[in-house]
Amino acid sequence: MRPEVPEPQSDGDDPTAAPQKADASCPPWALRDYAVLADGERGALVDPRGRIVWLCAPAWQSDAVFSALIGGRGHFAVEPADHWNVWGGSYEEGTLVRVSRWVTPDCVIECRDALAMPASPDRVLLMRRMRVRRGATRLRTSLDPRPGFGAHRMRDPHLRDGVWSAEAEGLHVRLVGAPAASWDPEFGLRGEFRLGEGEEHDLVLEIATARQTRRLDAEELWQATEHAWRAAVPDCSALAAPRDARHAYAVLRGLTSSAGGMVAAATTSLPERANTGRNYDYRFAWLRDQCYAGLAVAAHSPHELLDSAVHFTAERILADGDATRPVYTVSGDPVPEERTLRLPGYPGGSDRIGNRAGHQFQLDTFGEALQLFAAAADHDRLTGDTQRAAAVAVDAVERNWTRDDAGLWELENRWWTHSRLCVVGGLRRIAGVLPRRDGRRCTELADAVLAETRRRCLHPDGHWRRASDDDGPEAALLVAMARGCPAPDDPSSAITRDRIEEQLSQDGYLYRFDQPDAPLGEAEGAFLLCGFAMALATHRLGDRTGAFRWFERTRAACGPSGLFAEEYDVRQRQLRGNLPQAFVHALLLECAVRLQRS
């Protein structure tokens, strides 16, 4: 997801203006220390001290109202008054309900956080329930919503019937649970609570696009949210790593909107490598990532996430045909152009929003879509529209497979081997689904694409080249291999897999490809998608023990919250890039299914 393009334009009239100063009340933490709340329509990041430092409202692609994560203003904090404490926390299993925990010299405190479900696209409900497990304590809260990535203050803050209200930039805010707090024009709402052992206190924050009059009842909201998560995440006890598999389901559900689109991650501009310009906005829906998620779920059982992936992907292909974009907003609209905000950015990162990948041609997207549609047919979920979308995708492949494309890694346009093998695999899978004549056409087209790809991309030594003009090793080939192209009994499969492992692995982790003039681990981190793809490819080649080794090593590369980013710094054991990265969680889930079933 890293298009090599010119730097984005700055927002505003004066491109030489100095960036805003970071909010000193919310200092940054290592990425591994954050947790994520999500309800499908938006996501929030919580730091270890109980501060919510990132939330875009009302939708994923909207401007942030809490942007302290990237150096803007805006946060919502609940924290012990006693700063002499240690912290921790965990998710309630099978949910994105986060329970933060602090231990002071005198007490144990918990704060249960969640975005309420079922979610509404135009109304955010954020719940925070404080509870004292032992002792007595004082807790402090502060709320400072700043729409427009910190550019605007709330107007007309007032307290009525125990509810705080304010508004700005088309957003209407209400807070229940802090009637004794006071509003400071510069710093927002501030308050304090005293709780004894066993006592609880609720805060409910609402951010909506229109004034609301509905009563905000914390208990009702919690019960509805608990019920929604129970319905959303299936039993995974028969899978490898069942707790991680359920967590993957929860992450994928939390990142998938009611419109069907699944964002790649909840954040923007978190650095993949410090101060290199490699930081991007992932608050959009990549069709490839959506297909990975749908295929992972389909490997387990029929599920609404499979239906969402199929529906969203089919709609985009039917609407745009050959011009199908690799990435859209979750509602199916074009992704906005990249620009910067003049914020300091997360340390080593930037303040970039929008994504230029929406203008690229990525051939492998059609191959993954055909794989997804075939998987839906396996579960008797192939609708008439989906079958038509499959036919459109086949037509697009037939007309465009000889074109250079940007490939999985969104680099320069070249004749990438992975893209061709992906469409071969997709064509062969869908051939068994479409009517007889159309199926034969898919098989013939797959044979033609594979023959030309062999001629141009298969090295005389028997391994697949990275591209027609590049003999280097390429971990993306493992994705096609995991989908059955080339076939496991094709000698090139084992030769290529072994070469990738020999040249791109280090300490049990896998990198994407050789970087010019830099050893593994210096130019970028290990790519976790590749590690899980290696597990799947190794399993398909019949080495279950080796597959489990790759699976177990790669799934260790998460933070304490169990969330994965795109990359992992092996030496420092740190996450790199936006989080949580949907396609990494999707491949973990698929591994958990396929390895256990073997």
If DSSP states are collapsed to H, E and C, what string results for 559-585? CCCCCCCCEEECCCCEEECCCCCHHHH
Structure tokens at 121: 């696209």
pLDDT at 23: 76
Helix 491-504 to helix 528-540 angle (10° resolution) is 150
Distance CA 447, CA 430 (A): 14
pLDDT at 531: 98
**For residue 260, what is the DSSP state?**
S
369-382 burial code (b ≥16 CB/10 A, e <16): bbbbbbbbbeeebb
pLDDT at 2: 52
Q: State pLDDT tens for residues 310-354.
A: 999 999 999 999 999 999 999 999 999 999 999 999 999 999 999
Residue with tokens 């990198």: 511
Distance CA 184, CA 598 (A): 61
pLDDT at 175: 98
- Is 90 exposed, middle or buried, given 0-12, 13-18 or 19+ CB atoms closer than 10 A? middle
Distance CA 516, CA 319 (A): 40
- Is 584 exposed, middle or buried, given 0-12, 13-18 or 19+ CB atoms closer than 10 A? buried
CB 264 within 8 A of CB 286: yes
Structure tokens at 354: 């929008």
CATH class of 34-92+95-231: mainly beta
Q: How far is CA 351 from CA 91, 307, 343, in A?
A: 29, 34, 6
pLDDT at 14: 47
Residue with tokens 């030489």: 16
Angle at 284 (CA atoms; ends 225, 392), nearest 5 degrees? 110
Q: Which pairs from 517-526 meet CB under 8 Å and 24+ separation?
A: 521/569, 521/570, 521/571, 523/273, 524/272, 524/273, 524/278, 524/567, 524/576, 525/272, 525/273, 525/567, 525/568, 525/569, 525/570, 525/576, 525/577, 526/557, 526/567, 526/568, 526/569, 526/570
pTM, rounded to two decimals: 0.96
Q: Round to the nearest angstrom and report the end-to-end CA distance of the chain.
A: 32
What secondary structure does DSSP assign to 414-436, as a single string? B-BHHHHHHHHHHHHHHHTTS-H
Q: Name the nearest CA neighbour of 388 among 403, 369, 375.
A: 369
Distance CA 247, CA 172 (A): 32
Distance CA 179, CA 162 (A): 5
Q: State pLDDT tens for residues 154-208.
A: 999 999 999 999 999 999 999 999 999 999 999 999 999 999 999 999 999 999 9
Mode of pairing for the β-strands spanning 339-340 and 108-115: unpaired
Residue with tokens 């609407």: 319
Q: How far is CA 373 from CA 189, 275, 426, 458, in A?
A: 50, 40, 9, 29
pLDDT at 598: 64
CA 428 to chain centre: 29
CB 554 within 8 A of CB 475: no
Residues carrying CATH 1.50.10.10, the chain: 233-597
**For residue 209, what is the DSSP state?**
S
CB 415 within 8 A of CB 404: yes
Question: Which residues in the chain show pLDDT less than 70?
Answer: 1-20, 598
- Longest Cα separation, the chain: 78
Say how many C-beta atoms besides its own lie within 10 A of residue 469's C-beta. 10
Q: Name the nearest CA neighbour of 394 among 452, 433, 451.
A: 433
Strand intervals (E) in 67-149: 75-80, 86-91, 98-103, 108-115, 123-134, 137-144
Distance CA 481, CA 489 (A): 11
pLDDT at 274: 81
Structure tokens at 487: 């076939």
Distance CA 178, CA 114 (A): 18
Residue 43's H or E segment, with its range, is strand 43-46
Distance CA 436, CA 444 (A): 12
Angle at 551 (CA atoms; ends 265, 553), nearest 5 degrees? 90
Angle at 353 (CA atoms; ends 351, 356), nearest 5 degrees? 125
Residues carrying CATH 2.70.98.10, the chain: 34-92+95-231
pLDDT at 19: 60
Q: State pLDDT tens for residues 451-499.
A: 999 999 999 999 999 999 999 999 999 999 999 999 999 999 999 999 9
Residue with tokens 């509805």: 224
Mode of pairing for the β-strands spanning 339-340 and 9-10: parallel
Q: What φ, ψ does residue 577 adopt, rounded to 5°?
A: 100, -175
Peptide bond into 58 cis (omega under 30): yes
User: Which one is the CATH code of 233-597: 3.90.110.10, 1.50.10.10, 3.30.750.24, 3.10.270.10?
Assistant: 1.50.10.10
Starting at the earlier edge strand, list the strands of the sheet with 86-91.
Answer: 86-91, 98-103, 108-115, 123-134, 200-208, 171-176, 163-168, 155-160
